Amino acid sequence: MNKEKQNNQMYHSGMLYFDPIYREHSREPVDIPPINAVPAFTMHKNPHEPYKAVRGAKINDDCSVTLTIHEPEAREVYLAGKGYSLLEGPYMMVQNENGYFTVTLSGLHPGFYHIEFIVDGVRKLNPEMPMVFGCSTIVNFFEIPFPDEDYYILKKVPHGTLRFEHIWSDICDRYRGCWVYTPPGYDKHPDKRYPVLYIQHGGGENEAAWIWTARINYIADNYIAEGKMEEMIIVCNTGFAPKEVGEDIFVNESFEDVFIKEILPFIDSNYRTLPDRLHRAMAGLSMGGGQSRFIVHSHPDLFAWLGQFSSGAGFVVKSPDGYYGNPSDFSDLFKTPEHYNSLMKLTFISCGTEDPRHSYTSKQCQELADLGYNVEYHAYPGNHEWEPWRMSLRDFMPKLFK
């Protein structure tokens, strides 16, 4: 089970950029008798000769994790965590006879771990493990599967398509990258139109995070196959809006402007959306959750569904300072619970219970709920890290557009 889940996890990021299985050579000796394989004209090495995949991170049956890195010349190698992962380290690694350093970690909770290898004092990426952009840099990761949950796993169900679009921004004076998920059957039903979920990444991430890290496309594939979720288009856009104003000098333009004036029109004119407020949701984690709340509450004419996961500013109706000097005042939208509830179909707020944002966000939400505002608060185990965010998806997506 773990083996299958681990393979599953590797597939996605591996296929999206670097699949260790395709590596030309096994560095470890392979002591396996020849197998009667189909002659493969195209193999880079003898096709009849099996090879051992190099796997930098391996989840064992007892849910411990064995990490290896090929460093035949190194004197000292250890493993460190990033973010909230593995803060108890460093974990010293031991060199084996094949030039690999290795360590096995036990007792970790299931979930997603950003890690880095320190090789003779130098941070190093391990090319035999998957990588993501996270923690404001490029970083290796591994995942320990949740024993009782598989909603986020690549399964043999109909799959949607991930599409990468180039969206020109007049505001930023550059092209911006954008990932769009279309549900299974999108191309087969050219007359059908779909609701849209716009989902934003956190401060140290980019537009690929909800796909590569959270696997939102697999969650959607699985839920759609099980009839648990409405078919929808999912749009993952970068939350920054850099414009070059001098040689390598950038300022950030207003993401709200880029989003409302450029992204929304692009999606509505290039995809078969249902282009009205009742069929448009926006959600995000941390910085992206704050963006979503700000934009949805500023534009109730455009959105009726909101998700805000672990956002630093909590959940506020009115703030003289707001974020970064932008005052926020949604008093008019909140003037009565009836008014708010008539416009907002869902306001889904969540946070990890170990996240310092939990206490004040939950308090603000409870105050609103006590007054009759239809604001849901969900608490999940974890800190400011991926487990609460994926669990938020798990519970948020089935509620949308119903």
Q: Rule CB under 8 A: which of 153-182 touch its own copies?
A: 154, 156, 159, 161-166, 168, 174-177
Q: Are 174 and 206 in contact (CB under 8 A)?
A: no
Question: Encoding tokens for residue 378?
Answer: 């969900």
Q: Rule CB under 8 A: which of 226-245 touch its own copies?
A: 238-242, 244-245
Which among 39-47, 87-95, 303-311, 331-339 is the span making contact with its own copies, rule CB under 8 A? 39-47
Does 131 bind its own copies (CB under 8 A)? Our answer is yes
Give the tokens for residue 311.
């956002």
**Residue 290 near residue 311 (C-beta atoms within 8 A):** yes
Length, in residues, of the chain: 402
List, in sequence order, every beta strand (DSSP E) within 202-274: 233-237, 242-246, 249-252
Q: Is 40 in the site for its own copies (CB under 8 A)?
A: yes
Interface of this chain with its own copies, residues 243 to 262, rule: CB under 8 A: 244-257
How many other CB atoms are found less than 10 A from the CB of residue 141? 22
Helices 386-396 & 216-226 angle (0-180, nearest 10): 30
Q: Is the peptide bond before 90 cis (omega within 30 degrees of 0)?
A: yes
Choosing from 107, 190, 227, 320, the residue that interacts with its own copies (CB under 8 A) is 190
Q: How far apart are CA 14 and CA 20, in angstroms?
A: 7
Number of residues that bind its own copies (CB under 8 A): 100
Find tokens 């290898």 and name the residue: 117
* In the complex, minimum distance from the CB of residue 371 to its own copies, in angstroms, rounded to a whole number: 26
CB 206 to its own copies: min, Å: 6
73 versus 148: smaller Cβ distance to its own copies? 73
Q: Is 240 helix (H, G, I), strand (E, B) or coil?
A: coil
Nearer to its own copies, 111 or 289 (CB): 289
Member of 80, 108, 125, 369 binding its own copies (CB under 8 A):
125
In whole angstroms, the minimum distance from the beta carbon of 144 to its own copies comes to: 18
> Any contact of residue 19 with its own copies (CB under 8 A)?
yes
Residue numbers 370-399 binding its own copies by CB under 8 A: none
Beta-sheet pairing, 233-237 with 174-182: antiparallel
In whole angstroms, the minimum distance from the beta carbon of 93 to its own copies comes to 14
53 binds its own copies (CB under 8 A): yes
DSSP lists the bridge partners of residue 235 as 180, 198
Question: Closest approach of Cβ 226 to its own copies, in Å?
Answer: 18
Here the tokens at position 147 are: 């024993």
Per CB under 8 A, contacts with its own copies among 308-367 are 322-326
Which one, 271 or 377, has the nearer CB to its own copies?
Answer: 271
CB of 224 to its own copies, least distance (A): 14
| 91 is a site residue for its own copies (CB under 8 A) | no
Distance of alpha carbon 328 from alpha carbon 290, whole angstroms:
11
CB closer to its own copies, 176 vs 390? 176
Q: Number of C-alpha atoms within 13 angstroms, CB side, residue 148? A: 2
